Structure 1
Amino acid sequence: MNPTGTIRRRNKLTKMSYKLVVMGSGCVGKSALTIQLVKNCFVPDHDPTIEDSYRTQLIVDGQSCQLDILDTTGDEEMLSRRHQFMRWGEGFLCVYAVDDIKSFVDVNIFRDQLRRIRGADRIPFVLVANKVDLGNSLVTSALGQEAAKSFKVPFVETSAQTRQGVEHAFQQLVREVQRARAEALRNIPEPPPRRRRRGCTCSVM
């Protein structure tokens, strides 16, 4: 308590937590994107991921957010693990590489599996075209934008090497989760009004 008798209070930013999953085919740069966000560095040679988890802070629209990120494998043999992380996550960053046409086609597989496992069409989801710094792009920006438009999701072009679009991709995903949370709150039915109990009316003689 200070001499005037008033109590000083600190304004603390409340950190909201978000469970995010980075998914996609193998060798598209999922780990490089995640490490670039978390550690601000580019790792060109990274062992194929089975599953890694990271925690980091990110400012989104002026708000401090805690991100719990699961970096997943694209190996089809790990299908049971894929089902688990699709149930765990709130938001999904689906990555393909612009120099790999198959990884772009595989996006449809990941999205269909996600919708089937979650039993919903609208899931927080961002489509990411990675490795845009390369000169040998086989998947054009127009193709990526068209796919995202058909999915009705945001589209972000990134480079894990130059850090282009990396923060923006995760910020967009946080915004998608925030929209889903707000929509879920709006859809909660209001409780029925309480009935007043009628008191006993007694006459005093």
Structure 2
Amino acid sequence: MTSDSAHHVRLLVLGGPRVGKTSICRRFLYGEFETRYRPTLEEQYSRTFQLGGTRLELDVLDTCGDNSFPAMRRVSIAHAQAFLLVFSVDSHSSLLQAADCFGEIRRLRDDYREVPTLLAGNKSDVPGDERQVNSITASNWFFSKMSAERGRFLECSALRNTNVTEVFRSFLVLGNIPTVPGPSTAVRRQLSLRLSRRRAASPAPDGKAPAAETDPASFQKARSKSLIRRASRKKAKPAEMTDDQCGVQ
């Protein structure tokens, strides 16, 4: 690439209340987790990422879980370029709410099968006896409605920071966004150092390593002799000049 390619993605986050939509977003974008629950009305986050030769501008719209603003919700769905549906594995009703959100997407978007969509089962860290939704049930439902080329299902934990990065990385794959990285500065330095070492270790034409490379004392002697010869030549030069060369007649 001679110049960076740019991509702008509008990601809409949908799901019921208390499933961890905001926690997933803030964990990924800012590396933080708030233990106290605060209802979300509507939050928008904007971040820019440099992924090798690709510049990604990401706008994340985090919606409220109780559908208090249906008109705004419909507008957001109509203009979104990707969807993140979130439910909590310890609540079967939250999976039903995620299904309702997906049903609304299907009603408003004829192209919903072509829009990158990920279903995330949050709170995967809960004990087994508190789990109400297993991964097979959620996966089977989701892929009965969504194409595998543009859809993905993952379980994650915003609390433990498990699979959160993978959730967002999946949108790069689903959206066919290139992320081929160029060599970093550290890698370039390592390559340069290796080449320098190989050149220093290369044998002389007769198959023997030069004395200056194998014996530091020989290198110092050779350098001293070279400096002496240069100084001698500079001192002898005026004495060797003839009268004619000096312009004296």
Length-normalised TM-score, structure 2 = 0.62
Q: Is the 8 A contact 2:5 2:55 kept in 1?
A: yes
Match of 2:104 among 110, 113, 120: 113
Contact 2:46 2:58 in 1 (8 A): yes
Alignment gaps of 5+ in structure 2: 178-249
Secondary structure of 1:77 counterpart:
coil
Matched, 1:131 2:123: yes
Q: Which is helix-richer, 1 or 2?
A: 2
SS in 2 for 1:160: coil
Distance 2:141 2:105 in 1: 16
Q: Which has the higher contact order (CA 8 A, sep 6+)?
A: 1
Q: Corresponding residue for 1:171?
A: 169
Q: Is the 8 A contact 2:14 2:98 kept in 1?
A: no
Code of the residue aligned with 1:162 in structure 2: it is R
Identical-residue share of aligned pairs (%): 26
What secondary structure, in the 3-state scheme, does the structure 2 residue paired with 1:84 have?
helix
Count of paired positions: 170
Unaligned runs of 5+ in 1: 1-9, 180-205
Instruction: Give the counterpart of 1:159 among 152, 157, 160.
Output: 157
- Residue 126 of structure 1 aligns to a residue in which SS? strand
What is the aligned partner in structure 2 of residue 70 from structure 1?
A: 61
The match for 2:12 is 21
Contact 1:158 1:165 in 2 (8 A): yes
- 1:101 maps to 92
Alignment match of 2:140 (pick from 135, 143, 146):
146
With 130-139 and 75-84 compared, the bigger mean Cα shift is at 75-84
Equivalent residues of 1:98, 1:138 under 8 A apart: yes
Deviation of residue 64 (structure 1)? 4.1
Deviation, structure 1 residue 71: 0.6
Runs of 4+ residues deviating >3 angstroms:
10-15, 57-64
Matched, 1:91 2:82: yes
- CA-to-aligned-CA distance 1:1-54 (integer Å, 9 cap, x gap): xxxxxxxxx965334211101111111000000000110111121421111011
The 3 A distance-change label for structure 1 pair 15 and 150 is same
CA distance in 2, matches of 1:102, 1:43: 23
Partner SS for 2:144: helix
The answer for the alignment partner of 2:41 in structure 1 is: 50
Preserved CA contact (<8 Å) 1:90 1:177: no
RMSD over aligned CA atoms reads: 2.2
